[in-house]
């Protein structure tokens, strides 16, 4: 018990120190694990194994709940994934000098071509961008990369795949039954949450791993299969807190496995530098398929890590005597460093793009872009950014009062849904500098920022003012950020969600 308390205290100290530095807390947990190992507090690390596995499983399960199977019917993204994997693998193969056999070296290069599902999906979810255009493409590429990593694992463990694995083909047929069970528990959130966790751990992780496949892939697959459940988004949100706590064990344990000396650190930094080329290759491939520089840049940064699957592969080959301890230590150290670097880059990705935008947009193809954003608001008097529940309610009330309004949202599925209902809503990403710099405000008198995340609210306020908007900016759903910061950026009115609800009820009573 004392050891666990020391681990939690160390994690708290590391996470808080990184928070003070405005760096991701997950990176602080990895560093805390490394420091704890140096202080000889890394005994009995098997206590971390189970919560870490469940934490990763719940992360991928909750991500899967937000990913519709139809997202994968995109031949262009599949082609980008295939070309990127081949080019990066060959690039690493000819540049890396590893003292291993040709087959093992090729396998390591394939493993290094894969990006971290955990870091990327966690970063996208933290920024509330999983359902955006670039978020969905990132997740699709990650899933295909995970399948590639799974194939590599199966190849390295040829006896792992069993005939009984065909039983998994029956899993999709059980989904209606599982959804029916969840509906019966719908009125009791605790029981519904418990049932969802059991489904993720038992049907997803345990069943898949017992039949020779990856537990992580099993959790993701179960999430995708249940993404059509009407309360899928609510379930994903409820799993969030438990998942975050369990992921602490994953990052802490990862830090404890890091071995450092001068030679390992130098070799790790050399391999880490190759991430630049991995990201550049993906960026230009996405540009070749007509995506805008903004979208291509965000996807490339989301995937600018090495994968946790690389850790599994080198661990297995090290135990089998196929690679030396030194090479295993270098790959583990490199992967951990990539997690830290990737977390930092993802946190500041919009600020980085804003600085590079003048150069990057020159690289775009002169053609129609599937992620094209509008350049005008037409005759609209009010623009609403964020067409979720709050934004939609404001939109409908303004329409009833004969006010010309236009809505924007980064979730393409949500936009399509609103268009089917006859609403004037279109795709736009509020955190895209290009959206604001090219937007003609026309007759706009008011901008309503119904965005759920403080950074997006503050960023949009600053961009609107910087690009000449003189009207009123209203933030109807204040997040956890400081409202004074929003006011300094140029927001006129800021409401807490409960305060806004109270104002609405008061107006109804006054009318009566």
**How does pLDDT run across 11-48, given as a tens digit for each residue?**
888 888 888 877 777 778 888 888 888 888 777 777 78
Task: Give 498's pLDDT tier (boundaries 50, 70, 90).
Answer: low
**Does 216 score more than 80 pLDDT?**
no
Position 505 scores a pLDDT of 63
124-130 mean pLDDT: 80
Position 285 scores a pLDDT of 93
Fold designation for 382-511: Rossmann fold (3.40.50)
**CA 193 to CA 112: how far, in whole Å?**
36
Question: pLDDT > 90: what percent of the chain?
Answer: 10
Instruction: Provide the residue ranges of all domains of the chain, joining segments of one domain with +.
Output: 48-247+257-363, 382-511
Predicted TM-score (pTM) of the model is: 0.76
| DSSP per-residue string spanning 222-267 | HHHHTTTSTTHHHHHHHHHHHHHHHHHHHHHHHHHT----HHHHHH
Among 281-295, 430-444, 475-489, top mean pLDDT goes to 281-295
95-105 mean pLDDT: 81
59-84 mean pLDDT: 79
Answer whether 116's CB lies under 8 Å from 60's CB: no
**Does 331 score more than 60 pLDDT?**
yes
Position 357 scores a pLDDT of 87
Position 304 scores a pLDDT of 92
Position 166 scores a pLDDT of 63
Round the average pLDDT of the chain to a whole number and report it.
82
**CA 275 to CA 304: how far, in whole Å?**
6
Task: Give 308's pLDDT tier (boundaries 50, 70, 90).
Answer: confident
**CA 393 to CA 24: how far, in whole Å?**
34
* Residue 347: closest CA among 274, 298, 306: 298
End-to-end CA distance of the chain: 61
**Does 86 score more than 90 pLDDT?**
yes
Answer whether 464's CB lies under 8 Å from 473's CB: yes
Which residues touch 464 (CB under 8 Å, ≥6 apart)?
Answer: 436, 447, 473, 490
| DSSP per-residue string spanning 183-224 | HHTTT-HHHHHHHHHHIIIIIIIIHHHHTTS-HHHHHHHHHH
3-state secondary structure of 250: helix
**CA 194 to CA 187: how far, in whole Å?**
13
Q: What are phi and psi of 218, to 5 degrees?
A: -60, -45
Among 43-52, 200-209, 243-252, 460-469, top mean pLDDT goes to 460-469
* Residue 148: closest CA among 188, 196, 113: 113
Of the two residues 390 and 74, the one the predictor is more confident about is 390
Task: Give 502's pLDDT tier (boundaries 50, 70, 90).
Answer: low
Of the two residues 21 and 284, the one the predictor is more confident about is 284
Position 77 scores a pLDDT of 86
- C-alpha distances in angstroms, 162 versus 166, 265, 507? 8, 40, 65
Residue located via tokens 């040829």: 158
3-state secondary structure of 277: helix
Task: Give 512's pLDDT tier (boundaries 50, 70, 90).
Answer: low
Q: Which two tokens stand for residue 394?
A: 């404001």
* Residue 100: closest CA among 326, 258, 338, 306: 326
Which residues touch 96 (CB under 8 Å, ≥6 apart)?
Answer: 105, 108, 109, 271, 274
Instruction: Give the gyration radius of the chain's Cα atoms.
Output: 24
- C-alpha distances in angstroms, 499 versus 244, 266, 451, 461, 478? 29, 55, 16, 21, 10
Instruction: Look up the CATH number of domain 48-247+257-363.
Output: 1.20.1530.20
* Residue 80: closest CA among 260, 283, 315: 283
**CA 409 to CA 187: how far, in whole Å?**
31
Q: Which two tokens stand for residue 377?
A: 């608001």
* Residue 124: closest CA among 248, 301, 6, 259: 301
* 64 CB neighbour count, 10 Å cutoff: 24
Of the two residues 416 and 366, the one the predictor is more confident about is 416
The lowest-confidence range among 226-230, 335-339, 408-412 is 226-230
Tell me which DSSP letter residue 267 carries: H
Q: Count the helix, strand and coil residues of the chain and give each as a percent rounded to the nearest 5.
A: 70, 5, 25
**Does 315 score more than 80 pLDDT?**
no
Which residues touch 289 (CB under 8 Å, ≥6 apart)?
Answer: 76, 79, 80
Q: Torsion angle, CA of 461/466/467/469, rounded to 10 degrees?
A: 60
Q: What are phi and psi of 293, to 5 degrees?
A: -60, -35
Answer whether 58's CB lies under 8 Å from 246's CB: yes
Tell me which DSSP letter residue 163 carries: G
74-87 mean pLDDT: 89
Tell me which DSSP letter residue 115 carries: P
**CA 111 to CA 139: how far, in whole Å?**
18
For 376-404, how does the pLDDT look when each residue is reduced to its tens digit (9 = 90+)?
Answer: 888 888 999 988 888 888 888 888 888 88
For 222-273, how does the pLDDT look when each residue is reduced to its tens digit (9 = 90+)?
Answer: 888 887 777 777 777 778 777 778 888 888 887 887 777 888 889 889 999 9
């Amino acid at each position: 018990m004392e050891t666990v308390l020391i681990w939690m205290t160390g994690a708290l100290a590391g996470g808080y120190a990184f928070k003070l530095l405005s760096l991701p807390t997950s990176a602080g947990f990895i560093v805390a694990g490394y420091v704890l190992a140096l202080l000889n507090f890394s005994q009995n690390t098997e206590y971390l194994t189970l919560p870490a596995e469940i934490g990763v499983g719940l992360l991928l399960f909750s991500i899967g709940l937000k990913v519709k199977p139809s997202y994968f019917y995109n031949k262009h993204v599949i082609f980008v994934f295939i070309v990127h994997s081949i080019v990066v693998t060959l690039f690493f193969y000819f540049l890396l000098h590893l003292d291993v056999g040709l087959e093992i070296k090729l396998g390591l290069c394939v493993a290094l071509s894969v990006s971290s599902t955990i870091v990327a999906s966690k970063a996208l979810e933290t920024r509330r961008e999983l359902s955006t255009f670039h978020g969905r493409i990132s997740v699709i590429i990650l899933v295909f990369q995970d399948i590639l990593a799974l194939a590599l694992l199966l190849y390295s463990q040829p006896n792992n795949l069993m005939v009984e694995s065909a039983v998994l083909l029956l899993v999709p047929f059980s989904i209606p039954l599982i959804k029916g069970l969840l509906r019966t528990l719908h009125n009791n959130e605790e029981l519904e949450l418990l049932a969802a966790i059991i489904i993720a751990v038992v049907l997803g992780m345990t069943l898949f791993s017992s039949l020779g496949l990856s537990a992580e892939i099993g959790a993701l697959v179960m999430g995708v299969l249940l993404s059509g459940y009407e309360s899928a988004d609510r379930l994903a949100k409820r799993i969030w807190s438990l998942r975050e706590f369990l992921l602490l064990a994953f990052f802490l344990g990862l830090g404890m496995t890091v071995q450092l000396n001068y030679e390992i650190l130098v070799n790790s930094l050399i391999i880490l530098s190759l991430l630049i080329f991995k990201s550049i290759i993906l960026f230009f491939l996405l540009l070749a398929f007509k995506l805008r520089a903004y979208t291509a840049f965000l996807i490339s940064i989301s995937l600018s890590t090495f994968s946790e699957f690389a850790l599994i592969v080198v661990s297995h080959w090290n135990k089998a005597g196929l690679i030396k301890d030194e090479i295993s230590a270098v790959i583990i150290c490199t992967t951990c460093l990539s997690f830290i670097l990737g977390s930092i880059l993802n946190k500041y990705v919009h600020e980085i793009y804003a600085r590079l935008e003048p150069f990057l947009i020159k690289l775009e193809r002169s053609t129609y872009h599937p992620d094209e954003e509008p350049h005008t608001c037409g005759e609209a008097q009010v623009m609403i950014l964020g067409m979720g529940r709050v934004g939609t309610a404001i939109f409908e009330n303004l329409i009833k009062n004969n006010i010309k309004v236009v809505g924007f949202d980064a979730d393409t599925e949500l936009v399509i849904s609103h268009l089917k209902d006859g609403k004037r809503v279109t795709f736009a990403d509020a955190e895209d500098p290009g959206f604001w710099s090219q937007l003609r405000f026309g007759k706009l008198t008011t901008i309503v920022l119904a965005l759920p995340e403080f950074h997006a609210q503050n960023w949009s306020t600053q961009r609107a003012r910087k690009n000449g908007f003189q009207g009123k900016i209203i933030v109807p759903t204040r997040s956890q950020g400081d409202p004074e910061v929003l006011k300094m950026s140029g927001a006129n009115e800021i409401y807490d969600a409960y305060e806004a609800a109270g104002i609405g009820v008061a107006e109804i009573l006054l009318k009566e």
